[in-house]
Chains A and B, each alone.
Chain A
Amino acid sequence: MLTIYKNKKDIPSDKEYVELNDLYFNMNTSSLLDERAKSIIEAIDSSEQISKYKIRSRFNGDVLNIDKLSSGCKTVLNVLYNPEKVFCLKECGENALDVLFGFEKGAVYSDYPIIPFDFEKVAVFSDGEIKVIDDYEELKEWWSNAD
């Protein structure tokens, strides 16, 4: 399941933290995309991935470079293809969060709560302890409390 950090100091030193999701996607993740990306791009950006580096715009059908995906979609793809790293969560809209919080692995960071209305369970990490939360209010409380 997705792991959430709320303090940067809790991110293990062997895990890289990535704040600029746009840039990381353009420079790294874009080259890793495979069939798994298609449904995510469709679900979040309502765009069709027509080849590894091309999408069809939801607005006018233009063929665009994949760097035109939204920051939220790029964040979700960054997490999917780089589960060993920790990515900033702050640029995800509700539709991106819905997808992200269903992941079986991956990690994100935000110092304030960003929670979709529906999620099954996530792992939260603070002060060296990890625990599983499956309730919206409990997750909000954990995230809102300063350690």
Chain B
Amino acid sequence: MGRSRKYLVIVSLILLLLLVVSIVFFHYRAYLLLSMIMIAAIMIPFFARFEWRDVGGREVVLLAMLAAIAAVGRVPFAGLPSIQPTSFIIIMAGLVFGAESGFIVGAVAAIVSNFFLGQGPWTPWQMYAWGMMGMTAGLLRNTAFMKTLWGKCTFGFVWGYIFGWFMNTWVIVGNIEALSWKYVAGIFASSIYFDLAHALSNVFFIIVFGVSWIKILQRIQRKYGLLYEQSG
């Protein structure tokens, strides 16, 4: 593990350096490059935590399986493109297994599904958006708000939009000098149908399947003996 720790420190230092360099030197403002570096820099602590934490074999398998299920979640819905089941699965994972696991499941689900659909410049954005979705679900899971059905539904609805915004951002930063309210509004308007469908399908799944999924995941948590390790 020592070697990976060293590498990781080196990489984060390089990223930090790149960030400074790009801000100072890039008069021309390469925003896409900058934004990618920033996203990587934000995500690294989460992955670092996962690398250094004491993680048992069972937990690794469980997380890998959840991410894979989230990634293949789209398969039965191939005929219904407006329905997005992946987010629901990630939220559920975060709710039951906590913030760290939620982040890993979300981020890995994005990478894995792109391994089959094709990686692109959107991969880091997607990783970040889904990772954050799982993480916030985990962070808020013990609050009174998230304990209610309404709370969960609101959470799912809001994230349906935030996810869409994140995916819009990567288009916007590529073209940031053209930034104007009209431009941003135009891009957001073009995705409004997808975002709404995403938000509504999250709400729908949480209402219909939320209870049974949480039950199943808790059952697994007991079976794997992962009940006491979570800090939230």
Chains A and B form a bound pair: no
Chain B residues at the A interface, C-beta cutoff of 8 Å? none
